[in-house]
Amino acid sequence: MLRFTQRFVGIAGMTGLLLTAFLSAAPAAEDVDPVVARVDGMEIHRSDVEESRHRLPQRFQAVPLESVYGFLVNSLIDSKLVVAEARKIKLQESAEVKKAMARIEEQVLERAFLGAYIEQRITDEQLQAAYQAQIKGMAGEEEIHAAHILLETEAQARQVITELKGGADFAELAKSRSKGPSGPNGGDLGFFGKKQMVEAFSTAAFALKKGAYTTEPVQTQFGWHVIKLIDRRKAKAPSFKESEPKLRQEVSGKIGAELLQRIRKAATIERFNLDGTPMKDAAAQ
């Protein structure tokens, strides 16, 4: 029973990672929430399947529901069966499980309160102000379109440069020699700004003229690079719609931080060392 309890508590601890999806999933209306399975009389609804889908890794959430439907239903059935077995031995009454459930309840309450608090206070004006501040900082910035060939040694990079001087095609050399993930694509890195690459790479790339490549190998923590500049342009600011998810996250973070600062000031907080002795003020800060 102890082994079973430890496993359950481990699963319960992971549940905290799934609460955001749980809280954001709106209950489906009865007429569009049919029963999709029964396990010893316990019903599993379509809304349960859709909620489970939200818990999948991000790369699987874009997969059509029909493609993962069978897997999700079977997982829910297994969950019902295991929970039923746990209840048969009254595992829900164990101190460990009660402690784990209490922690989950705290996490749900924390997220529910913060979510509601922030949603009531975040405004379109705040988002627009954050957006204007963001694009103001981008005004006049330049970005370049470049490609590179990543080699393991300086000697290999110099050999590539020699071949380029002899008329070899940059993209073909990248495909056959580059150790970087962009190699199969001819070393193409697309457009990027100065701060998006490590300093040594960015400095060398931005110093090139259109169509030119570096005649000296460029070293970074990733290896040795031969870089070619394909094009230049003024950076285009993202639209508000493109920026909104990140802006909303940033503004929400500020609202949440202000709340925590306020309620901390109003609370009596005592801190203790690992041995239970009172923590000195400096250490606590």
> Does 133 reside within a domain?
no
What's the one-letter identity of residue 188? Answer: D
Indicate if 248 and 218 belong to the same structural domain. no
> Is residue 136 in some structural domain?
no
Same domain for 91 and 31: yes
What residues form DSSP beta bridges with 234?
A: 142
The CA dihedral of 77, 35, 58, 130, to the nearest 10 degrees, is -140
Shared-domain flag, residues 11 and 52: yes
Task: Determine the structural domain holding residue 276 and report its residue range.
Answer: 124-128+239-284
Domain boundary among 197, 214, 234: 234
Query: In this structure, how many other beta carbons lie within 10 angstroms of the beta carbon of residue 148?
Result: 26
Per-residue pLDDT at 59: 81
Give, for all 285 residues of the chain, the pLDDT tens digit: 444 444 444 444 444 444 444 434 444 445 589 999 999 999 999 999 999 998 898 888 888 889 999 999 999 999 999 999 999 999 999 999 999 999 999 999 999 999 999 999 999 999 999 999 888 867 668 899 999 999 999 999 999 999 999 999 999 999 999 999 999 999 999 999 888 999 999 999 999 999 999 999 999 999 999 999 999 998 888 899 999 999 999 999 999 999 999 999 999 999 999 999 999 875 556
Report the amino acid identity of residue 115. Answer: G
In a domain, residue 173? The reply is: yes
Q: What is the CATH number of the domain that holds 204?
A: 3.10.50.40
Query: Has this prediction a pTM greater than 0.75?
Result: no
Which of 84, 119, 154 is at the close of a domain?
Answer: 119
Euclidean distance between the first and final Cα of the chain, in Å? 43
pLDDT score of 185:
96
- Does 176 map to a domain? yes
User: Residue 68 falls within a domain, yes or no?
Assistant: yes
Residue 23 lies in a domain: yes
* 38 and 103 housed in the same domain: yes
In a domain, 164, yes or no: yes
Check residue 13 and give its pLDDT.
Answer: 44
| Same-domain check for residues 93 and 63 | yes
Q: Which of 226, 231, 207, 230 is CA-nearest to residue 163?
A: 226
Same domain as 54, residue 18: yes
Closest CA to 253 of 162, 140, 122: 122
The encoded tokens of residue 202 equal: 């960015």
Given a contact cutoff of 8 angstroms between Cβ atoms, the answer to whether 224 and 153 are in contact is yes
Residue 40 belongs to some domain of the structure: yes
Same domain assignment for residues 18 and 93: yes
At which of 86, 119, 152 does a domain end? 119
Give me 281's structure tokens. Answer: 């003020």
Give yes or no: residues 169 and 276 share one domain. no
The continuous run of DSSP H or E covering 227 comes out as strand 223-234
Angstrom distance (rounded) from CA 75 to CA 39: 12
* Co-location of 261 and 206 in the same domain: no
Question: CB-side exposure of 27: number of CA atoms within 13 Å?
Answer: 3
Dist CA 219 CA 228 (whole Å): 15
Q: How far is CA 140 from CA 143, 231, 235, 244, in A?
A: 10, 16, 7, 22
Q: What's the count of helices (H) and strands (E) in the chain, helices before strands?
A: 12, 6
What is the Cα Rg of the chain in Å?
A: 28
Strand order of the sheet with strand 142-151?
188-193, 142-151, 223-234, 218-220
Q: How many domains does the chain have?
A: 3
Whether residues 226 and 243 fall in one domain:
no
Instruction: Give the span between the Cα atoms of 260 and 113, in whole angstroms.
Output: 12
Amino acid 140: pLDDT:
67
pLDDT for 22 equals 42
* Statement to judge: residues 7 and 115 lie in one domain: yes
The answer to whether residues 163 and 252 belong to one domain is no
- The encoded tokens of residue 140 equal 């006049």
Closest CA to 49 of 32, 58, 40, 240: 32
